[in-house]
Structure 1
Amino acid sequence: MTTTTPVPAPVRPAPALPAEPPVRPRRRRVFSAERRPGKLAYLALAGLGLFSGFPLYWSVVVASHDNGILGQVPPPFGIGPNLLANLDRAFGTVPFGKALANSVVISASITISVVLLSTLAGFAFAKLNFKGRNALLVLVIATMMIPNQLGIIPLYMLMAKIEWTGTLYAVVAPGLVSAFGVFFMTQYLREAVPNELLEAARVDGCHTLRIFWHVVLPASKPAAAVLGMLTFMSAWNDFFWPLVVLTPEDPTVQTALSTLASGYIQDYSLSLTGTAIATLPLLVVFALLGKYIIGGIMQGAVKS
């Protein structure tokens, strides 16, 4: 009896699946410093610049005409012929030259003192360990919540007692230290100056003041430029305290401008002439400190 071996059925191959399309890698957008912004960005910046600078230009235009320009329709937008005459009137109506000198001395003294002392205090609060550091910093920040107007009467009594009323010392002395400046520099130096750098300076034999002068102060230039610009603007635009403590014969720029703007009939050309003159020192300060501010912004962008 013979046995037959079953023949296996042929195996059919599985149907081939449709080939998937190749996955293309995503192109990552690389932002390069060499890539220039488009025309829309330039147009937006130009429009913003014109919008910001038009009030200053309009002040110069009105300062170069008489009051009749305000009633003209449409008003002229060119420089008029009365600029020198209005300048002569402004300096002849009030002691404007003395007011400019007083404001420069006051603002420069306050700015230098605030930047130096705030950086020194910020270095102490940020990098030095001493008892009661946090509580003292909170106390300094709490003084920012008290309005300056509440201290006018006791401050004036103090200046009268030490016989400083009517002098520039009475304007400079209250602004030599700023609580905002101390807080601002403390926050900046905590991140800008690494502890390893300070330890390396101590290993090299530097004492604390030398570390501050050669390490901390150069590292704080961007923040010091911002603080200096804000402090100079605040001191330059201060009106109430100089009005209280100084005499009309020895004014600052803001009190001189208030004298130009006073009167039964408002002389806008005369007032805006003084305003244009008072704005020039602020533009000079920004031009001098702008490179440090922009450099600090770019340095922070590269580090991040």
Structure 2
Amino acid sequence: MTIHDAPTRPPARRPVSRSAQRSNRQARDHQRRSRRDGVSWFGYLVLTIGVLGALAPLYWMFVVGSNDSSAISQFPPVLVPGGSFFDNLSFVQERVPFARSILNSAIVAVAVAALQVFFCSLAGYAFAKLHFRGRGVLLVAVVGTMAIPSQLGIVPMYMIMSELGWVDSLQALIVPGAVSAFGVFWMRQVVIGSIPDELIEAARVDGCGTFRTYRSVVLPNIRGSAAVFGLFTAMAAWNDFLWPLVILNSPEHFTSQVAIQQLRTQYTIDYSVVMTASVIATVPLLLLFLLAGKQLVAGIMEGAVKG
């Protein structure tokens, strides 16, 4: 072997200084932050566009309601609120007792939401944790009723209300809406996902009966989901139109949706007046969502984490 055939050693790597390592680490962190900030700004942009798209119909409704009836057919469209909102509101109150109808809707919505939260959670607890004969068959029957259109029950329900003497009364809106198949199924799934069987057994060992277990163990653990369910139930009861239109006859018993329908005449519709009433009927729901926003988010996050 000659000196030229000797194996060559790779050049030694120079040790990287601490300052260079720190600079590389800072550069990588800055690059990650830049990508994360870019994604965040894009997400904020998408959310902003979505919020503006959701608020646009409400703003347009207020613009039309604060102008005269010609504003809805003008081109280019009117985009600035006018000064006729309170005049239109006075006309609405002259045509129908609209303040009373708002109160009626609030009574019905609160009562239906409270009753559904109680009865549906109670039934959901029974289907989830109690063992009794025919539980599976009864659950299938309850869930199967969701496939039946609600319009099919209007005539039989009207006949029942007539026999009870409840036609043209608010209890005809509250009592039939006190429980729903969807609510029972929803609360059953919530109880199954939120409350382990060991907790129920521990309550029974401590001497709790069935209802006391429901009150002391079940309700506190499903409070967030029950609040979400109650919120959406109240919104559905507030916006219900067909059944109140059928069962109510007197203006003093009208709900807000029926009162708005009464603003149209036989041949014409004053859209500015209708939009004014619609704005007033929407405000309570917006306030409800603003006041219950934290509870709503907490309930949704609770279901997402436990699911």
TM-score, normalised via structure 1 length: 0.84
Cα 1:66/1:191, change in 2 over 3 Å: same
Q: Specify the alignment match of 1:292 in structure 2.
A: 295
Aligned pair partner of 2:270 in 258, 262, 267 = 267
Q: Specify the alignment match of 2:66 in structure 1.
A: 64
Alignment of structure 1 residues 1-304 onto 2, 5 Å: 38-249=40-251, 250-302=253-305
- Secondary structure, counterpart of 1:273 in structure 2: helix
Percent identity reads 46
Q: Per-residue deviation at 1:58?
A: 0.9
Cα 1:187/1:299, change in 2 over 3 Å: closer
Q: Per-residue deviation at 1:303?
A: 5.3
What CA distance in whole angstroms lies between the structure 2 residues aligned with 1:193 and 1:59? 45
What CA distance in whole angstroms lies between the structure 2 residues aligned with 1:280 and 1:199? 46
Amino acid in the other structure paired with 1:245: I
- Secondary structure, counterpart of 2:292 in structure 1: helix
What CA distance in whole angstroms lies between the structure 1 residues aligned with 2:83 and 2:284? 24
What CA distance in whole angstroms lies between the structure 1 residues aligned with 2:254 and 2:303? 41
What CA distance in whole angstroms lies between the structure 1 residues aligned with 2:239 and 2:299? 26
Q: Per-residue deviation at 1:284?
A: 2.2
Amino acid in the other structure paired with 1:221: R
Q: Per-residue deviation at 1:300?
A: 4.5
What CA distance in whole angstroms lies between the structure 1 residues aligned with 2:200 and 2:156? 42
Q: Per-residue deviation at 1:272?
A: 0.3
**Contact preservation (8 Å) 2:63, 2:79:** yes
RMSD over equivalenced CA pairs, Å: 2.7
Deviations 1:161-204 (A, max 9, x none): 22111111222121111111000000111011111222222233
Q: Per-residue deviation at 1:150?
A: 1.6
**Contact preservation (8 Å) 1:90, 1:274:** yes
What CA distance in whole angstroms lies between the structure 2 residues aligned with 1:97 and 1:260? 14
Cα 1:215/1:16, change in 2 over 3 Å: farther
- How many aligned positions are there? 281
TM-score, normalised via structure 2 length: 0.83
What CA distance in whole angstroms lies between the structure 2 residues aligned with 1:291 and 1:47? 23
Q: Per-residue deviation at 1:302?
A: 4.9
What CA distance in whole angstroms lies between the structure 2 residues aligned with 1:116 and 1:302? 24
Q: Per-residue deviation at 1:211?
A: 1.7
What CA distance in whole angstroms lies between the structure 1 residues aligned with 2:72 and 2:205? 69
Larger Rg: 1
**Contact preservation (8 Å) 1:122, 1:183:** yes
**Runs of 5+ in structure 2 lacking a partner?**
11-27
Moved more, 286-295 or 239-248: 286-295
What CA distance in whole angstroms lies between the structure 1 residues aligned with 2:112 and 2:262? 24
Moved more, 258-267 or 82-91: 258-267
Amino acid in the other structure paired with 1:171: L
What CA distance in whole angstroms lies between the structure 1 residues aligned with 2:68 and 2:209? 63
**Runs of 5+ in structure 1 lacking a partner?**
1-12, 19-26
